[in-house]
Chain A
């Protein structure tokens, strides 16, 4: 019998889903229920004791969410997934399994701004201390490692400026330090980049962006690569020590190469509580079915828009790794050979005032703070999301007064360029 491994587009449509065993429903049903009945007392005990597979309560697991979890795990090439309420929730859940008060993790300082806030402020309330490193100077990651370091966190393609991180180089540092490498793969999606192939041990997603893809649902997901040995030095007691909440089970020994995903579910999600609504899971699953088609179109449109802007007389610079000459162009060719994503920034010669006019003049682009929608989106960070910062802080964050961020949609590229053209002319 010839062995066939399903391709990416087939997995995007099918992985994790199958006709409902009792009704034959072909689309994944929305199991909008809080709870699931037990067959008998022994069955209930087996479920609560993690002795069998099954559903108890939607905060811990839900069959609609499970399809989404398996779908993304399959697309990333991981052993298991866990869906949570948002990308931020994914990061809290992951770190809750890894960190104790006083522990540290090394993170790229070129991350989505929301992650920087979460690490700098909210995580510190838990005593989880971030040590910032610079992806443009890989040695800073190595120098950031201390005996308290429990993880390294990076983004494959970082929002907003299209920073491509050298995942393999940082993975080598993580392996030497004996800590897991966590990669936020939101902007790339597994269609453009599969961090596990480059040495990631855990992948996190905001499903809200390109995976869901339609700007209609918030969600997050954690993928366990199955690659990290959690028991080697006893540094991850949630996985390597008997758990009192589960009758002394050792999760790594019991669940092997998907133990991290199970720990995130049965310890962190169960007790911290950021469960994903099954309805959101359904909408995001529907989005993922067309992920390969959408990402190809997003990238084709973005390349065209970036090339057009680079030649525009009112534009000072364009930061898009798909452009030859961009400082991340070679890394993009290695890590995202099918396209450098659909989010980038550009600078206006006219500065702050021109930026404000541009976002007011657009008619097709939506002026809002999200990215990764079918629709083209635009924002002028200096006058909106980064308004409270000083000019120096704005520039440091890649949100100087002249900077405009766009997330290019899947409309006709002539219409996208046409809208920017008329808006720039009038700016």
Chain B
């Protein structure tokens, strides 16, 4: 799997499949990118589990915080790595030790560790690096288009509303193939 760009179908497949996401390195501060992403994904129906040793035992957005992946008492589908790239190998090792193993290791925008990715892939996990699941959800559901962002998707099919309310969109839709996630310029620029 090339990690320079990802086909939309790959990202959409992951975001459509996973239900429980452990976010490692979430901040309890409500102005941090990790908090934004956690809250957004929670609001889009994902079962979000915060992981942060400094916050263990507390709650973030009403969810109990765990110190490490191994402490989580339920199976998780995806690990979202909100830590610097140097910590990725250790987090991948912890993820591979889980029973059952998660299906996906997702490293945040600005985070890329090819060695950790290779280890995860050798263990049968899918890997996404240097992307934000909030941005990718927003892009593939077209929500992000409300902000004038180039979603790099194109379709003559209408979008679907997600659940309650009027300003939440679903991933369950069709777009013209050929989109890729935000291009390599993203790699040069940090962010969530």
Contacts and interface: CB of A to CB of B under 8 A. Distances in A.
A15 B176 CA distance: 11
B contact residues, range: 35 or more
B160 A21 contact: yes
B166 A37 contact: yes
Interface in A14-38: 14-16, 18-22, 24, 36-37
A81 B143 contact: no
B103 interface: no
Contact of B148 (A20, A46, A51, A69): A69
A254 interface: yes
A4 B178 contact: yes
Looking at A4, A54, A252, the one whose CB has the most chain B CB atoms below 10 A away is A54
Contacts of B150: 15, 70, 73-74, 78-81, 258
Contacts of A262: 147
B25 interface: no
A230 to B, nearest CB: 8
A252 B191 contact: yes
Interface in A31-89: 36-37, 39-40, 43, 46-47, 49-55, 61, 63, 65-67, 69-70, 73-74, 78-83
Interface in B131-166: 132, 135, 138, 142-152, 154-161, 164-166
Contact of A227 (B142, B177, B185): B185
A189 B40 CA distance: 36
Contacts of A94: none
B177 A3 contact: yes
B39 A46 contact: yes
B30 A53 contact: no
16 contacts: A11-B154, A14-B156, A19-B156, A49-B31, A52-B39, A52-B167, A53-B138, A54-B167, A61-B146, A66-B148, A70-B148, A227-B185, A252-B191, A254-B33, A256-B109, A256-B189
Interface of B: 7, 9, 30-31, 33, 35-36, 39-40, 43, 109-110, 132, 135, 138, 142-152, 154-161, 164-169, 176-178, 180, 182-183, 185-186, 188-192
Closest 10 CB pairs of A and B: A256-B191, A69-B148, A39-B165, A4-B178, A19-B158, A54-B167, A257-B189, A73-B150, A80-B149, A53-B143
